[in-house]
């Protein structure tokens, strides 16, 4: 027989349960309404973001310029070839020859950024990419250049510009107007404000201002926006060959992983443009496309405006060469199991990869600081290393003559120690590409010297580090030339005092006054260098 007791119990609880559900529904609905009431409207959020973008662009757009590179008449004559429809490709894409005319569209174009003058001379300075200015006129030089550079600025202002300094390794250059501007012009040529890249994160909104397809030649840069996609990105690698030294010229500091990857529209002509944060401050210089040939090209690269880049910019603005640090070792990336095998399975070794000093050059900064072959380099200035490129990048960015601290693991009974290394100078392969209008030290008796590795053409062997300074310039009819000195000579001693770095050389010459000086060359020869006045009397 059917038991009705459970059924009666269920019926007795149905009404209260339904009432509970209704009450819960009402409560949740009320709370949801309160929640939506507390949240801003989606349209309001969109307008707020839009307004922030507009404000950031308005703040900095007058500090971004368009750049045109125009071949000189001499170059036009030398390279002239028959062109279809009677158009000369050397003159632009139309019949107008005047870059001030909006109908003129140059064949080579990009963007630039008005920056503050770190030398406090209150000059108009334009930061851009080296590859946009190659072959351009150099300030203070009368030689006819291959190209002229024209700058289209805000309010339809325009002027020809010349190079103060340019550096192929960073792909950066600094320009200034070729002639004095009117008194009213600099007032509207406002330098941009620098932002900070230390707090940049993936996904952060960024704005790019540039000159796509040369359409910003009216002085108004075009804008796009996107996000930061990644850090420490690498361009397409240069596969170097010891027998082909020309390939070294193609390698830049950015091949060791300096670049920001940004997901913005970086079309043709946005090289040298500004990458802004949402406050309108400069955090990068747009430089190139990241995609392989034939693929989607919306993603590109930017040079971050960090402390290392500011060091380079300040050097270029002062007209000097941007020097890069050099350690003097052959680094190799090894895996964790290899590192543990070499260092008695040390429990400190928890990272997947490490950097080992495979070899250390004799007389190099690394050897002078006490580094030994087989040392494991854990960090540089507190920054952990995961591969050899990390070490090379950070050493290069630090600059020549800078002291860095390396954390080292050494020995069969592994122990950590800290080495303080005073860096040398990275060997410059593309010395013809470097533009400088000022030098760190003045000529002395017609002589200028530099780090032994200053130019790769003087130290072609990758296995040597000469304990001397190298002669980089000898002035005509100077005491140095009269004594038979030539570029590429290595000077190891001044009056029997050893000199290995430029600072020690110039420190020693301060002691000699107007006396004859005995220079000992690395090959054993001795040269007596008389003062300038003695040469004149003869």
Helix extents (H) in 356-431: 365-369, 388-398
Output the tens digit of pLDDT for each of the chain's 538 residues. Answer: 334 333 333 444 444 545 554 555 555 565 555 555 556 688 888 899 999 999 999 999 999 999 999 987 655 444 433 333 333 434 444 445 688 777 788 889 999 999 999 999 889 999 999 999 999 999 998 888 889 999 999 888 899 999 999 999 999 999 999 987 766 555 678 999 999 888 889 999 999 999 988 888 888 999 999 999 999 988 776 666 555 667 777 888 998 999 999 988 788 888 999 999 999 999 999 987 554 455 555 568 999 999 999 999 999 999 999 999 999 999 999 999 999 888 876 667 888 999 999 999 999 999 999 999 999 999 999 999 999 999 999 999 999 999 999 999 998 788 899 999 999 999 998 888 999 999 998 899 999 999 999 998 898 666 679 999 999 999 999 999 999 999 999 999 999 999 999 999 999 999 988 889 999 999 999 999 988 644 444 4
171 conformational bin, left if phi > 0, alpha if psi -120 to 50, beta if neither: left
DSSP strand pairing (108-115 vs 526-529): unpaired
CATH no. for 328-422 = 2.30.42.10
In Å, how far from its chain's centre is CA 438? Answer: 20
What element of type H or E holds 259? strand 259-263
Numbered ranges of CATH 2.30.42.10 in the chain: 328-422, 439-537
Q: What's 439-537's CATH class?
A: mainly beta
> Which CATH architecture is the domain 60-322 placed in?
Beta Barrel (2.40)
Exposure string of 157-181, with b = 16+ CB inside 10 Å and e = fewer, is bbbbbbbbbbbbbbbbbbbbbbeee
Residue 374's CB is within 10 A of a number of other CB atoms, namely 16
Six token digits for residue 511 = 């002691």
Output the CA torsion sign for 118, 121, 122, 124: negative
């Amino acid at each position: 027989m059917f038991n009705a007791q459970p059924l009666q119990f269920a019926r007795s609880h149905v009404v209260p349960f339904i009432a509970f559900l209704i009450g819960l529904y009402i409560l949740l609905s009320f709370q949801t309404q309160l929640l939506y009431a507390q949240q801003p409207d989606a349209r309001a959020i969109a307008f707020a973001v839009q307004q922030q973008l507009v404000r950031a662009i308005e703040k900095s757009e007058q500090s971004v310029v368009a750049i045109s590179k125009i071949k000189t008449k001499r170059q036009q004559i030398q390279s002239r070839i028959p062109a279809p429809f009677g158009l000369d490709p050397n003159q632009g894409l139309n019949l107008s020859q005047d870059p001030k005319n909006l109908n003129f569209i140059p064949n080579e174009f990009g963007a630039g950024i008005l920056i503050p003058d770190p030398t406090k001379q209150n000059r108009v300075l334009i930061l851009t990419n080296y590859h946009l200015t190659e072959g351009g006129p150099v300030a203070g030089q009368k030689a006819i250049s291959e190209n002229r550079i024209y700058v289209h600025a805000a309010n339809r202002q325009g002027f020809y510009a010349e190079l103060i300094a340019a550096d192929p390794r960073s792909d950066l250059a600094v320009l200034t107007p070729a002639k004095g501007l009117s008194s009213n012009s600099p007032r509207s040529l406002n330098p941009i404000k620098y932002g900070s890249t230390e707090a940049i994160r993936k996904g952060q909104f960024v704005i790019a201002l540039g000159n796509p397809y040369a359409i910003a030649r009216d002085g108004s840069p075009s804008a796009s926006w996107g996000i930061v996609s990644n850090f420490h990105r690498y361009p397409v690698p240069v596969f170097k060959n010891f027998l082909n030294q020309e390939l070294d010229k193609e390698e830049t500091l950015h091949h060791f992983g300096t670049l920001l990857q940004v997901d913005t529209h970086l079309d043709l002509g946005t090289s040298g443009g500004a990458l802004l944060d949402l406050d309108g401050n400069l955090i990068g210089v747009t430089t190139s496309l990241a995609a392989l040939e034939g693929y989607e090209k919306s993603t590109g690269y930017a040079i971050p405006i960090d402390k290392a880049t500011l060091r380079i910019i300040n050097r270029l603005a002062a007209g000097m060469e941007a020097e890069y640090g050099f350690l003097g070792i052959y680094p190799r990336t090894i895996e964790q199991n290899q590192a543990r095998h070499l260092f008695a399975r040390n429990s400190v070794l928890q990272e997947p990869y490490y950097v080992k000093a495979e070899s250390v050059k004799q007389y190099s900064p690394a050897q002078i600081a006490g580094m030994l072959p087989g040392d494991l380099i854990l960090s540089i200035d507190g920054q952990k290393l995961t591969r050899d490129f990390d070490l090379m990048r950070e050493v290069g960015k630090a600059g020549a003559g800078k002291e860095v601290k390396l954390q080292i693991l050494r020995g069969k009974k592994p122990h950590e120690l800290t080495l303080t290394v005073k860096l040398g100078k990275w060997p410059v392969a593309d010395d013809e590409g470097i533009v400088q209008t000022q030098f760190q030290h003045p000529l002395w008796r017609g002589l200028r010297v530099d780090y032994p590795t200053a130019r790769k053409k003087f130290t072609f062997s990758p296995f040597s580090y000469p304990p001397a300074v190298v002669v980089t310039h000898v002035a005509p009819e100077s005491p140095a030339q009269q004594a038979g000195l030539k570029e590429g000579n290595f000077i190891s001693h001044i009056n029997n005092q050893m000199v290995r770095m430029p600072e020690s050389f110039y420190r020693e010459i301060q002691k000699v006054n107007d006396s004859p000086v005995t220079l000992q060359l690395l090959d054993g020869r001795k040269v007596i260098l008389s003062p300038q006045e003695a040469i004149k009397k003869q």
